[in-house]
Structure 1
C-alpha cells in the first residue's frame, strides 16, 4: 500500500484528532492513529473508547488499499519537524513496516494491525433522533457554557453540557452548583422534545474544530451515543447517562433590584480589587447605593484591602452582597454585551447576570450563588 500526502496537511488533520488520545489508555492500540486508505481517500481516526474523532484527506496519488494503526507520538513529533513537502508512505501490509520517504531521507516505523482498532458504536434506530444546525450555533452554545461545567466525580451529570431540543428553541445549560449558564437559540427548533448531556471532553474537542469548519453540522444521538458530522470531521462520543437537575427551579424569578453597569469597567475593577481578597475564600463585596457600586476585598491575615467605586444605574435600597471573585470574573468574561444587567433580590439569594443587549435569536442568562459576608 502506497500513498503521497502533504506533510503540513497530514499534520493539521492529525493534530486536530490527536487531542482525543488519552495518556492513560487501557488498550495499547489506542496510542495509535488508524489510517484507512481506499479509493484515493485517506481516513484518519483517533479514539479513547469514550470519544472517537474521524477526519479524511483526498489524495492525488495512491496505490492499493488497507487499514493500519500507526504510533501517534512519533508520527506527530516527526511531522512537526518537517517543512512543507510531499511525503511518500510505503507500507508493507504483511509486516506492518512503514517507510516514510522524503526528498532527502527515509524514516521507518512499525505499525499494528488496523483490525484490532475498536469499531465505531452504532446508533439504536428505534431510539435515535437527529437534527441539522448551523456550525456557528453549536460553536456559540459550547463556548457560552463549557466554562461553567463541573468536575464532580459523585455527580457526573454536572460534568457536561445539557442540550435540550424543543419545538420552540435549542437550549444549552451548564452548572457547577456555584454558577449556572442557560443559553437559548430561538433560530433552531425541532419537531420533537429531547435532550442529551454532552461530556466535557468531546465538547472541548468540538470547540477546537468548529472554528475551522463552516456550513451545517448533523447531530444524531440515542440514549448512549452522539454523532456530530461536520464537512471535514466526525466526532462520536458516549453521552453522560442520568437525569440533569431541574435547573429552572434554581433561577430566581422575582428580582426587584436591577443594576446596569459597563461590563468592561466592572471586569477590570474586579480584576484589580480581587488581588486583595482572602486567598482561601476569594470573597469580593459589592455595595450598592443609588447610582454607585463599590467593589471591595480584604485579607485580614495580611492587613491588605482594596475598594473601588463604579458608576452604575441603580435606584433600589442600599444593599451589600458577596461573590467569589473568580466565578464572577468568569461570567463577566463570557458575556459579550457592552453593558450587563445584575438582578438581585437579597444577599442570600443568587444573582442573575444578563447581557444588556442580546444577540439576534439569542437568550442568555448566567446565575451566580452568593457568599456569606462576615460582618
Structure 2
C-alpha cells in the first residue's frame, strides 16, 4: 500500500548494480552500508555504495521518478535480482513503499525488504576542488597496478603513485619479504607533482568495474580522497568512484 513506482530497462538496472555492488560494506555494525542506497528524483536516478574506504556513485540522467525518495536495497537481494534480469531491454517496474521494494519484469516478481537505516551523508565526503588530474589509459593503469600489487605488503596492499610531469611511477614494497616493484607509465597530468598511496586492491577493483578506454584520477593532497572518473562513454551515465588514500611511510 502507498507504493510509488519507477520504470527502468533491465540493461540500465544491471549496469547500476554491477557498477556499485562491489563497493558495499560487509560490516554488520553499520547496517546502512551493507546495502546500495537508491535515490530517485525528477532529475535522475542515483545508486550509491560505500564501505568507508571506497565509494561509488552511479547516476542515470535518463531515468526519473515523479517524486523524490530514497531507500536502501540489501546486497543479497540485488545479487539475486542481477542473476534473474534478462539480457535484453525488458522494462523493469520498481515499486516501493516504506518497508519493501518490488521488482516486476516478464513473469517474475521479486520482493525485497528494505534496510531500515539512515544512509550516511555521502555527498559530504566527495572532495570538490581537485586541481591534480591524471589522465591515463584504463587498461594500461590496471595492468601495471596488477603487476606491482603482487609485491605489495599482504596486509595493506599499499602502492605508491608518484607523478612528475607526464610520468607516473607506480611502486610497492614488502619489507618483511624484501620484495619491491617499480613501473613507469606515460600519462597526461595537470597539477603539482604528487606522491600518494592507495590500497591497490581497491584501485584494481574500481578500474575493472569501469568500461571506458581512459580514466581520470583527480587528487588534491596525499591525505584526501582521490576520484576515479571514466572519460567518454554513455552521456546518460554519470559514474564517480572515490578511494581513500593510505598513509605512506616516509623513509621510502
TM-score (norm 2): 0.97
Change (3 A) 1:295 1:157: same
Does 2:169 match 1:294? Answer: yes
Q: What is the correspondence of 1:320-339 to structure 2 with a 5 Å cutoff?
A: 320-339=195-214
User: 3-state DSSP class of the match of 2:229?
Assistant: strand
Separation in structure 2 between the aligned mates of residue 303 and residue 374 of structure 1, nearest angstrom: 15
CA displacement at 1:326 relative to structure 2: 0.5
Q: What is the correspondence of 1:193-272 to structure 2 with a 5 Å cutoff?
A: 193-212=68-87, 214-272=89-147
Residues 213, 230 of structure 1: 8 Å contact kept = no
Q: Which of 131, 143, 147 is equivalent to 2:22?
A: 147
Q: Cα deviation per residue 1:311-337 (whole Å; 9 max; x = unaligned)?
A: 000132221000001111000111111
CA displacement at 1:232 relative to structure 2: 3.0
Does 2:27 match 1:182? Answer: no
Q: Cα deviation per residue 1:159-185 (whole Å; 9 max; x = unaligned)?
A: 111110001000010001000000110
CA displacement at 1:137 relative to structure 2: 1.3
Cα RMSD, aligned residues only: 1.0
Q: Cα deviation per residue 1:246-284 (whole Å; 9 max; x = unaligned)?
A: 110000000000010000000000000000001111100
User: 3-state DSSP class of the match of 1:331?
Assistant: helix
Residues 10, 87 of structure 2: 8 Å contact kept = no
Separation in structure 1 between the aligned mates of residue 161 and residue 32 of structure 2, nearest angstrom: 32
Separation in structure 2 between the aligned mates of residue 264 and residue 186 of structure 1, nearest angstrom: 27
Separation in structure 2 between the aligned mates of residue 248 and residue 163 of structure 1, nearest angstrom: 14
Change (3 A) 1:155 1:352: same
Separation in structure 1 between the aligned mates of residue 30 and residue 176 of structure 2, nearest angstrom: 35
Q: What is the correspondence of 1:1-375 to structure 2 with a 5 Å cutoff?
A: 125-126=1-2, 128-212=3-87, 214-375=89-250
Separation in structure 2 between the aligned mates of residue 233 and residue 324 of structure 1, nearest angstrom: 40
CA displacement at 1:242 relative to structure 2: 1.1
CA displacement at 1:360 relative to structure 2: 2.5
CA displacement at 1:213 relative to structure 2: 5.5
CA displacement at 1:210 relative to structure 2: 1.2
Residues 227, 237 of structure 1: 8 Å contact kept = yes
Residues 213, 231 of structure 1: 8 Å contact kept = no
User: 3-state DSSP class of the match of 2:246?
Assistant: coil
Q: Cα deviation per residue 1:167-206 (whole Å; 9 max; x = unaligned)?
A: 1000010001000000110001112100111100010011
CA displacement at 1:288 relative to structure 2: 0.4
Name structure 1 gaps, 5 residues minimum: 1-124
Residues 11, 87 of structure 2: 8 Å contact kept = no
